[in-house]
A and B are shown apart, each in its own frame.
Chain A
Amino acid sequence: MRVEALAGDGGDEWVAFSALSGETHLINETSAAIVDLLDEEVPASIDSIVDRIVGETGLPHDEVRLLLADAWELLLHGGLIRAVTVTDHHGPAP
């Protein structure tokens, strides 16, 4: 997954490209931050993502959770992230 800002100085217009599907998506800054934080190989829980953003931005926990609430469905729908069932800490279920 490649995520790029469209303006040289960042801004809220980003694009993501999935080499797997060949699809390109216009996304906002919040979604770009989530995709950037995720590792393609290792799943992460919503709580851990919220914790990392709280740690990096210093924003209140509830505010970050609220900020991300709208992003999940869009990212899932666009195929930029997928939900997995984690059986142990080594990786997703087959």
Chain B
Amino acid sequence: MTTDQRPRPAVEPVPGDVRSAMSGGGVWLDLGLLTVRVRSTVPELAAPLCSVYPGMVEIDPRDWADLHVELAEGAGPRRWLRRQSRFTCDGERPFEPFPADHALPLFEWGTNWVLARRMNDVLLLHAGVLERDGLALVMPALPGSGKSTLTAALSLRGWRLLSDEFGAFDPQTNQFRAVLKPVALKNRSIEVIRAFEPTAVLGPEFAKTRKGTVAHLAPSAAAVALRGVPASPGAVVFPRWQSGSATQWLPARPKVVFTTLAFNAFNYAAMGASGFQAVVRLTRRCPAWQLIYSDLDDALHTLERAWPEVRERALSESAP
């Protein structure tokens, strides 16, 4: 895996150029931890891709890409009645075709699927990760947790987004690395985030997907600019959205932290002893809490109030 340190072009490619490049040699997306080469003959992909990966789509060929993915239009006579897009990576086609105008969700889910299975030199937690003060806030994804909503909200209030899906912990450096992709918001979360921050840059809404309506929140310019910069472990927070609940901030026991991190990792078993030791280190290093909330603003204030303790603890542990 590489992070290309070449200077970025000052002018972003326009969707027309991206469309043209994708139908030929492809475009390159530098996500921080890895680079993805994208080729596509589906014209509907270019515009939304540019809108939710601002400053990240490159037309100039790179020497290396970690993943090579392709979206192609469906074949056969049915394509004249209902155009489709198919996701392929190295001959694998993990999903049934999507309608052509749902090319972006297909690209996102397809890429996530491949990433989760192949990135085995880092511990890949299923978690949202944001950075402040050089420290990572890790929020493992439990069903119905509201993790993406909280991740999106924090990213709109100055926390640097590293990833909404992949907490990529490098056991060699003991740091989290960015896997920077847009935050996938689903159903009611879309309106929650629009109301929370009216200036938020969201891509188009895609209705009637397998997860309902989805829209993608673009990462901030700062998150894009710093995607090559890692973050040290800071804190683990298990968010749980609960309708009508007052905000609760409860310490989490180490065994709960360990089991949740391990069982939420895509590749814990595949990494063997290295994954075990990585989760042990995270459990020891990070203070952890459960955050139960229904009011997004109040949840953010609670996190903000707790953060100095995280910072102080990290400072005291790094002191000689």
User: Would you call A15 and B280 a contact (CB within 8 A)?
Assistant: yes
In the complex, what distance in Å separates the CA atom of A5 from the CA atom of B280?
8
Complex partner residue of A4 from B253, B259, B272, B280, CB under 8 angstroms: B280
Where the two chains meet, the residues of A that have a C-beta atom closer than 8 Å to any C-beta of B are 2, 4-8, 11, 13, 15, 17, 19, 22, 24, 26
Closest residue on chain B to residue A4 by CB atoms: B280
Alpha-carbon distance between A22 and B253 when the two chains are bound, in angstroms: 24
Q: Are A11's CB and B277's CB within 8 A?
A: no
Q: How far is the CB of A52 from chain B (nearest CB, A)?
A: 25
Given contacts A2-B277, A19-B273, 15 further A-B contacts (CB under 8 A): A2-B273, A2-B276, A4-B276, A5-B284, A6-B254, A11-B254, A13-B258, A15-B255, A15-B258, A15-B276, A15-B280, A17-B273, A22-B269, A24-B276, A26-B258
Q: B258–A19 contact, CB under 8 A?
A: no
How far is B259's CA from A13's CA once the two chains are assembled, in angstroms? 11
In the assembly, what is the distance between CA of A4 and CA of B159, in Å? 33
Tell me, in angstroms, the Cα distance from A19 to B269 when the chains sit together. Answer: 10
Residue on A with the closest CB to B253? Answer: A13
List 30 contacting pairs A-B, 8 Å CB cutoff, sorted by A: A2-B273, A2-B276, A2-B277, A4-B276, A4-B277, A4-B280, A5-B284, A6-B254, A6-B255, A6-B258, A6-B280, A6-B283, A6-B284, A7-B284, A8-B284, A13-B254, A13-B258, A15-B255, A15-B276, A15-B280, A17-B273, A17-B276, A19-B272, A19-B273, A22-B269, A22-B272, A24-B262, A24-B276, A26-B258, A26-B259
Interface size class of B (residues with CB under 8 A): 10 to 19
Q: B226-256 vs A: 1/0 string, CB under 8 Å?
A: 0000000000000000000000000001110
In the assembled complex, the CB of A55 is this many whole angstroms from the nearest CB of chain B, namely 29
CA gap between A5 and B277 in the complex, in Å: 11
Task: Name the A residues within 8 Å of B269 (CB-CB).
Answer: 22
In the bound complex, residues from chain A placing their C-beta under 8 Å from that of B257 are: 6
- Residues of A contacting B276 in the complex (Cβ-Cβ under 8 angstroms): 2, 4, 15, 17, 24
Closest-CB distance, A2 to chain B (whole angstroms): 6
**Whole-angstrom distance from the CB of B112 to the nearest CB of chain A?**
25
Which A residue's beta carbon lies closest to that of B259?
Answer: A26
Cα distance, A26 to B258, chains bound together (Å): 9
For A5, the chain B residues whose CB sits under 8 A away are 284
Q: Which residue of A lies closest to B263 (CB)?
A: A24
